């Protein structure tokens, strides 16, 4: 049904004469809680906050005239998350032999799609400062742990040529899957703009 609606939307939508395409690289981190238990104390539960690093790459589509102050942005990208730490070696709360835990030992791959707006609040010659707001999801995971993603932040753009725009964004990010996870994402990319 979704596929049929997407195809129908492509054929019934009007033509876009302004926008752009680009590539983007990303890196960041977010906080995550790892739960573990003490087998010597009737499996008493403990929590350990951990910082998980992320990095990835993808493509983006921009919608809007290159001279407009507000532009729509859609990003599709692959993200790899670093492994979680073993609670038996990274905490002093429980003796290592008594720790019972299930943590992610390997890096995790995630497919992410976000849409949002970028607004320029200051421009001078080829330089602009931007505010960004993006919403989407980590919709493709290998361990069935999909999540909602919301981001907001600021960015910097430099117009290399009339049609090429380089940008860097720093955004506060909130993930929601059985609770809120907070973090920071950075993006750097190049867009080819047309109108």
Q: Are 98 and 40 in contact, with CB atoms under 8 Å apart?
A: yes
> 100 in a domain, yes or no?
yes
> 64 in a domain, yes or no?
yes
Burial 128-152 (b: 16+ CB within 10 A, else e): bebbbbbebbbeebeeeeebebbbe
> 145 in a domain, yes or no?
yes
User: Which residues in the chain land under pLDDT 50?
Assistant: none
Q: Are 30 and 42 in contact, with CB atoms under 8 Å apart?
A: no
> 12 in a domain, yes or no?
no
The pLDDT, as a whole number, for residue 142 is 85
> 3 in a domain, yes or no?
no
> 4 in a domain, yes or no?
no
CATH of the domain at 172: 2.40.160
Q: What is the pTM of this model?
A: 0.84
| Structural domains counted in the chain | 1
Q: Which domain holds residue 61?
A: 27-194
The pLDDT, as a whole number, for residue 103 is 84
> 94 in a domain, yes or no?
yes
> 63 in a domain, yes or no?
yes
Closest CA to 161 of 66, 75, 68, 73: 66
* 34-65 residue pLDDT tens: 888 988 888 888 888 999 999 999 999 999 88
């Amino acid at each position: 049904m979704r596929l049929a609606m997407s195809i129908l939307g492509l054929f019934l939508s009007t033509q876009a004469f302004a926008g752009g395409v680009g590539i983007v690289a990303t890196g960041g981190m977010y906080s995550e809680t790892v739960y573990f238990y003490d087998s010597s104390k009737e499996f008493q539960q403990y929590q350990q906050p951990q910082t998980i690093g992320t990095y990835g790459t993808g493509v983006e589509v921009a919608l809007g005239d290159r001279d407009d102050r507000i532009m729509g942005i859609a990003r599709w990208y692959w993200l790899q998350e670093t492994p979680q730490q073993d609670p038996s070696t990274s905490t002093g709360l429980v003796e290592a032999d008594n720790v019972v835990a299930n943590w992610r030992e390997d890096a995790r791959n995630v497919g992410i799609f976000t849409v949002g707006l970028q607004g320029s609040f200051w421009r001078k010659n080829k330089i602009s400062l931007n505010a960004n707001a993006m919403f989407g999801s980590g919709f493709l995971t290998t361990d069935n742990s999909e999540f909602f993603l919301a981001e907001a932040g600021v960015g910097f753009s430099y117009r290399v040529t009339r049609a090429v725009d380089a940008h860097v964004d720093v955004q506060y990010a909130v993930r929601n899957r059985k609770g809120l996870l907070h973090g920071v994402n950075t993006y750097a990319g190049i867009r080819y703009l047309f109108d």
